[in-house]
Amino acid sequence: MTKLKRILAGLLAGASIVTMSACSDNTATSGASSQGGQVQQTTESTIDDDIENPVSIGDISIDAGDEVEPAELEYLGSYNITTAGDVKPAYKYFQENYDCSIKVTMVGSLQIQERLTALISSDESPDLVDYAQNSFPLLMSKNMYSPLDEYMDLTAPQWEGLEDYINKYRWNGKNYYYPWAYNANPYFLIYNRGIFEQLGLDDPKELYDDGDWTWDTFKDCVKSFIESDPNGGRTGLYGMVGTSFIDSTGTPFISIGDDGKLVSNVVNPDVERAAMFMQDLKKEGLAQFPEGFIDVSEDPIVQGTAAFQSMGEWIITNYSKKMTKDESLDIFFVPYPRDPNADEYYVGMTTFGYLVPAGSEYTEQACVFINCCRLSNTDEDLAATTKESIMKNKKYTEEQYEFIMEFHKVNDFNCVVDEPYGLDENTSEIISKILNNTVFNADEDYGNMTWAQMRDANSEIIQSQIDYYNGLIESGNA
């Protein structure tokens, strides 16, 4: 596969990350067809997997909002929110207690914007749509969504401690996005723990538990793994790195100020230091795509020929399901390592949730459903039911589940909010190529250019787009 195709695969993987764990639960039920490598399908609002994953709400009682008029909501997104393991309990509660249902239209993540634009233009707006990497600020600046302040209460228990994060995504003084899922680690480093043990290498999870998981120990792990095969049959890091090393410095690539304005840190010394570390990984042959494989391929980890795959939480269920079929497999994962020069252990953060498109007739009902989803993480009884659903659906081990859930408690971490892909399509693609080509030989356009050369060639383009959006905020035209 060419380097260009690898980048395209990376972009698809990056688009998938924002849907976090739910993205791995795309379940074909009807009308599936392939469009540009993405699956598009429409399915009626039905719960059709009760044999494999029966969910009973029983006598659970939550306060997701006042009583609303019964309605059938339209959802546009990349997975089936009526059957996905981590959303199904919330949906069943919404269905049974608010007498509302959801009709699902599934499209590939890269087709959502085009489809949503067409529906809004034809006065056929859906009522819920996935948050995407370009939702903020690009699509918010185009008035694609409805403000939700009137229907959402940030003082409600389920939103405790999250106000600062939610307000990061304010546009023109209004809140359009109330994420119900939070992950204090956009990309995990996945490794074959069984192979590490066979080779007598330090277990990254134990290094993390002991507070010794740093850039340096990570690099040592990769070197030791590669050198363990004298025939040169092993590689180091592959996958999607994004801004993970950069964010561990405590300085995001693009930050959101207290005034809501975007700030480029492309020339910041911390960003420079992280970029140099990434570039050194490439120079030393510690980060590269295994021959014949792309970033989302699982075989190099399963076969024990690559040390780490960097990928979002969504892919872990794929490994878990392989482990149920092969009990000899022991696949685990760790967060990105700590920057040894930083004052704290910083991690990037991703969020996921739904927005209500402009023109929706059922904004209040949509907000109740968003509250149900959030309460599936915070209400003790609903969270217990959700755990059962996730374990049946995703096949996690208990150890995997407990470790994943630690990173959903973002207030326990020093989180960095980084929004590098929310600008216009051209600028977002440039940023993606710069980041990927810094750590991998991943793009034919940039070839062997250094970080400094790529940065200098594009920093003005990035700043120009940031100035454009900040200008909208200043003029009140956002």
Paired residues of 346 in beta bridges: 414
pLDDT of residue 37: 30
pLDDT of 396 > 50? The answer is yes
Whether residue 179 is found in the same domain as residue 317: no
* Structural domain span for residue 117: 18-184+351-411
264-275 pLDDT per residue, tens: 999 999 999 999
pLDDT at 47 over 80: no
Question: 216 and 117, same structural domain?
Answer: no
Q: List pLDDT tens digits, range 139-160.
A: 999 999 999 999 999 999 999 9
- Classify residue 7: in a domain, yes or no: no
Per-residue model confidence (pLDDT) at position 32? 28
pLDDT more than 70, % of the chain:
88
158 and 281 co-located in one domain: no
Contact present, 81 and 38 (Cβ < 8 Å): no
Mean pLDDT of 361-385: 97
Q: Is the dihedral of CA 77, 83, 86, 87 positive or negative?
A: positive
Phi, psi values for residue 370, rounded to 5°: -60, -40
Q: 443 and 310: one domain?
A: yes
Report d(CA 433, CA 420) in Å as an integer: 12
Do the domain assignments include residue 267? Answer: yes
> 269-303, pLDDT tens digit by residue?
999 999 999 999 999 999 999 988 999 999 999 99
Residues 158 and 223 placed together within one structural domain of the fold: no
Domain co-membership, 278 together with 326: yes
Residue 21 has pLDDT above 70, yes or no: no
User: Parallel, antiparallel, or unpaired: how do β-strands 128-130 and 331-334 relate?
Assistant: unpaired
Token pair, residue 315, equals 């892919």
Q: Work out how many domains the chain is built from and give that number.
A: 2
DSSP annotation of 313 reads G
Classify residue 5: in a domain, yes or no: no
Same domain? 194 vs 299: yes
Q: With beta carbons less than 8 A apart as the criterion, state whether 295 and 239 touch.
A: yes
d(CA 262, CA 255): 6
- What order of strands is seen across the sheet that includes strand 33-35? 33-35, 38-43, 100-106, 71-77, 128-130, 354-355
Say how many CA atoms lie within 13 Å of 293 toward its Cβ. 20
CA distance 460 to 198: 49
Q: Are residues 71 and 213 in the same domain?
A: no
Higher pLDDT, 398 or 424: 398
Helix 398-406 and helix 316-325: axis angle, to 10°? 170
**pLDDT on residue 10:** 44
Looking at the fold, whether 329 and 465 belong to one and the same domain comes out as yes
Mean pLDDT for the stretch of residues 301-323: 96
The whole-angstrom distance between residue 477's C-alpha and the CA centroid of its chain comes to 29
Decide if 389 is inside a domain: yes
pTM: 0.87
CB 209 within 8 A of CB 217: no
Residue 27: band (very low, low, confident or very high) from pLDDT cuts 50, 70, 90: very low
Residues 264 and 407 in one domain: no
180 inside domain: yes
- What CATH code is carried by the domain that includes residue 134? 3.40.190.10
Which tokens hold the place of 317? Answer: 């269920």
Domain boundary residue among 359, 389, 411?
411
- The percent of residues above 90 in pLDDT, for the chain, comes to 76
